[in-house]
């Protein structure tokens, strides 16, 4: 059984009709996610790649139940997320975390670094001692000297490391990394990708790694799913997708993206 099982998932925005000037006019519907099915296995990195607007981030948020679907199902360790109560989801969320795209927007500027990293533990009723926070900082390549500082005092790469430490606070099994290096320059992004690979080995993590960059996904992913206009058009082992792509869109992604050193 896969760790995450997605079946026939659909998310439509703009459903229904509205009245304007006495006439019924149907709103424009956008199928952000269009009948997607896929599995994510424990210990792997599934790279989800596609251009902006393809539905990648929406799919990631649906999988974590940060937004609700129009239809379909998601099972996490055999449990149906959309049939789970708020109390059950609170428990499940300990095992599912997200790393956001923008390290400047994802950290509360009012909080000190120590409080940012400890917050998930406090919310979920776990002990949030200083030693645990320092341990998490060291795991992402930072040290305790930054504990009392604020997010604005750090570079983008440092902020992303802090965000990763926060995501690890509850010892999750599964992390959605939503374009975690796209807001960073190439060299800093490469460092973050290498850090994620190391953390996967150290903590036994499973990733859904969302990106528009095929070279980055090729480096990190065990398997790759290619998303185009809300649909998964191709999925398979990394070598197969990058060396013997079958779908024209996959080939266009490979042709259009320059190589990135990681």
Task: Report how far Cα 96 is from the mean position of its chain's Cα atoms.
Answer: 10
Burial grade of 26 (CB within 10 A; 0-12, 13-18, 19 or more): exposed
Range of the structural domain that residue 90 is part of: 4-17+26-100+176-256
Kindly state whether residue 236 falls inside one of the protein's structural domains.
yes
pLDDT at 259: 52
How wide is the angle at C-alpha 71 spanned by C-alphas 91 and 208, nearest 5°?
Answer: 55
Kindly state whether residue 145 falls inside one of the protein's structural domains.
no
Kindly state whether residue 149 falls inside one of the protein's structural domains.
no
Residue ranges of the chain with pLDDT lower than 50? 17-19, 21-24, 260-262
Q: What tokens does 153 get?
A: 């005092």
Burial grade of 39 (CB within 10 A; 0-12, 13-18, 19 or more): middle
Q: What are residue 209's phi and psi, to 5 degrees?
A: -105, 110
Predicted TM-score (pTM) of the model is 0.91
d(CA 132, CA 169): 8
CA distances from 177 to 147, 182, 232 (A): 24, 11, 18
Kindly state whether residue 146 falls inside one of the protein's structural domains.
no
Average per-residue pLDDT in the chain?
91
User: Running DSSP on this structure, what letter comes out for residue 144?
Assistant: G
- Number of structural domains, the chain? 1
Kindly state whether residue 162 falls inside one of the protein's structural domains.
no
How wide is the angle at C-alpha 66 spanned by C-alphas 233 and 122, nearest 5°?
Answer: 135
Closest CA to 252 of 231, 233, 236, 230: 233
pLDDT at 258: 58
pLDDT at 75: 97
Q: What tokens does 67 get?
A: 């937004």
How wide is the angle at C-alpha 204 spanned by C-alphas 202 and 206, nearest 5°?
Answer: 130
CATH of the domain at 234: 3.40.50.300
pLDDT at 262: 47
Kindly state whether residue 144 falls inside one of the protein's structural domains.
no
How wide is the angle at C-alpha 70 spanned by C-alphas 68 and 75, nearest 5°?
Answer: 60
pLDDT at 102: 86
């Amino acid at each position: 059984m896969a760790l995450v099982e997605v079946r026939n998932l659909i998310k439509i925005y703009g459903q229904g009709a509205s009245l304007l000037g006495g006439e019924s006019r149907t709103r424009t519907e956008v199928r952000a996610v269009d009948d997607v099915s896929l599995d994510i296995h424990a210990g792997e990195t599934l790279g989800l790649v596609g251009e902006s607007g393809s539905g990648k981030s929406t799919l990631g948020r649906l999988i974590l139940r940060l937004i609700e679907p129009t239809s379909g199902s998601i099972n996490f360790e055999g449990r149906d997320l959309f049939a789970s109560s708020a109390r059950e989801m609170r428990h499940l969320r300990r095992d599912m975390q997200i790393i956001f795209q923008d390290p400047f927007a994802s950290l509360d500027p009012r909080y000190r670094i120590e409080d940012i990293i400890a917050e998930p533990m406090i919310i979920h009723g776990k002990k949030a001692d200083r030693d645990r926070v320092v341990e998490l900082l060291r795991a992402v390549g930072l040290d305790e000297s930054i504990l009392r500082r604020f997010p604005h005092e750090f570079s983008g790469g440092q902020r992303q490391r802090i965000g990763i430490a926060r995501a690890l606070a509850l010892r999750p099994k599964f992390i959605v990394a939503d374009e975690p290096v796209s807001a960073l320059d190439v060299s800093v992004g490469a460092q973050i990708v290498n850090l994620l690979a190391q953390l996967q080995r150290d903590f036994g993590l499973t990733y859904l790694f969302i990106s528009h960059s095929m070279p980055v996904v090729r480096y990190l992913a065990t398997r790759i799913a290619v998303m185009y206009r809300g649909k998964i058009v191709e999925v398979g082992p990394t070598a197969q997708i990058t060396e013997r792509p079958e779908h024209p869109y996959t080939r266009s992604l490979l042709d259009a993206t320059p190589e990135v050193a990681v």
